[in-house]
Amino acid sequence: MNLLLIEMCRCLRRVATIFALVMFWGGLSHAAGPVSLAFEERAAQVETLTSGLENPWSMAFLPGNEGLLITERGGRLRVWQDGELSEPVAGVPQVYARGQGGLLDVALSPEFAQNRRVYLAYAEQGNNGAAGTAVGVGRLSSDRKSINDFRVIFRQEPKLSSGQHFGVRLVFDREGFLFIALGENNQRPTSQDLKKLQGKLVRLNADGSVPKDNPFSGKSGVRPEIWSYGHRNPQGAALNPWTGRLWVHEHGPRGGDEINLPEAGKNYGWPLATHGRNYSGLAIPEAQGDSAEGTEPPHYVWLKSPAISGMAFYNHERYPAWRNSVFIGALKDRQLIRLELDGDKIVREERLLSDLGERVRDVRSGPDGYLYVLTDSSKGSLLRVSPSP
């Protein structure tokens, strides 16, 4: 009798799994919106520059011949230059290095040549034991061995994360405003709550103060830092050099990774509108479908998630075939995605590094015209990528 019950349970589990998959893929087959294009795979030339990195997360090129700043999620900031990797830079803040948290994005001041200011985004633990994203700025010493006078200019409030969905990406626009893309800490309803900073894109002055022309400035019961809302877990952001528009991409749940071009005060849907489902295959409880009244559709969406991360526009003369493109890493698919553009319109998708076998965490266009890629593992690498001849 016990054996019969065990076998019946196994059969029920198989039926439930098949039903969930049918519902998942069936739902996606009817999805509306700007879904991803059929892609081609291309080979690329890859050179490993260093493999001595522990879960590298982001990078920023220093001007001149000063090298490349690299963050490691465990809390170290390093300098790579001419094949050498520095000792950890001093003066970096203490980070919450649990789950997806740690030392995350790095960005240079638009006036770095004059002020040597470096911005760091990281997970910070609060008094309640939970964590949230923080951003601070300090001055990089001339010998690049320390960050001096570091001070926090922004804290995500309230602190709600137990280790998930911090985001985070930093981008300065052409006017010098700082955009910070924030995850919803895996607390779905917070993305729609304008009293909270989870699941938001915020816009600040370079010193952390709030611009007076932000869409919610002066409104009661709304955080004035907010530029747009309804985001899930942003993992890439960059300015399109041809149009000047900010691009932000974010992880969907199971399916529904998306690119948005956020505009002031607008709602980008999560969790009311999504092309994805829970990892169990069941529907997101709050979701009204792949669209919802009062929300903006994504600019581009992958129904099957590559788990996108990092973003870099390419506009260098070295490889003309790559110009007018944006490159995005893929953690799950372990590839480099190239999207060919006409202005802000995506006209073609291509996949590179299909045999890489490593999670791509970040991608940047170097001043020398090569692409630079960070792979996410305890023995992560810095790669230099160019087209195959």
Q: Quick check: is 251 catalytic?
A: no
- Strands laid side by side in the 147-155 sheet: 103-108, 117-125, 131-140, 147-155
pTM of the model as a whole: 0.91
- Cα distance between residue 249 and residue 267, in whole Å: 14
Residue 344 has a CB neighbour count (10 Å cut-off) of 15
First to last CA, the chain: 66
**Residue 35: predicted pLDDT:** 82
- Cα distance between residue 178 and residue 94, in whole Å: 22
- Cα distance between residue 95 and residue 104, in whole Å: 9
Mean pLDDT per block of 10 residues along the chain (389 residues) reads 39 38 36 71 93 96 96 98 96 98 98 98 96 98 98 98 98 98 98 98 98 97 98 98 97 97 98 95 95 97 97 97 97 96 95 82 98 96 94
**Residue 354: predicted pLDDT:** 63
Choice among 30, 165, 231, 299 that is catalytic: 165
Which of 236, 167, 228, 231 shows the shortest CA–CA distance to 203? 228
**Residue 37: predicted pLDDT:** 84
What residue spans define the domains of the chain? Answer: 32-387
3-state secondary structure 116-161: CEEEEEEEEECCCCCEEEEEEEEEECCCCCEEEEEEEEEECCCCCE
3-state SS assignment for residue 18: helix
| Residues 336 and 315: beta-carbon distance below 8 Å | no
| Residues 381 and 48: beta-carbon distance below 8 Å | yes
Which token pair is 18? 């098949």
Domain covering 32-387 in this structure, CATH number: 2.120.10.30
Burial of 121 (0-12, 13-18, 19+ CB in 10 A): buried
**Residue 296: predicted pLDDT:** 97
Q: Which H or E run contains 42?
A: strand 39-42
- Cα distance between residue 298 and residue 48, in whole Å: 35
Which of 81, 155, 156, 71 shows the shortest CA–CA distance to 108? 71
- Cα distance between residue 102 and residue 124, in whole Å: 8
**Residue 38: predicted pLDDT:** 86
**Bridge partners of residue 254, in order along the sequence:** 277
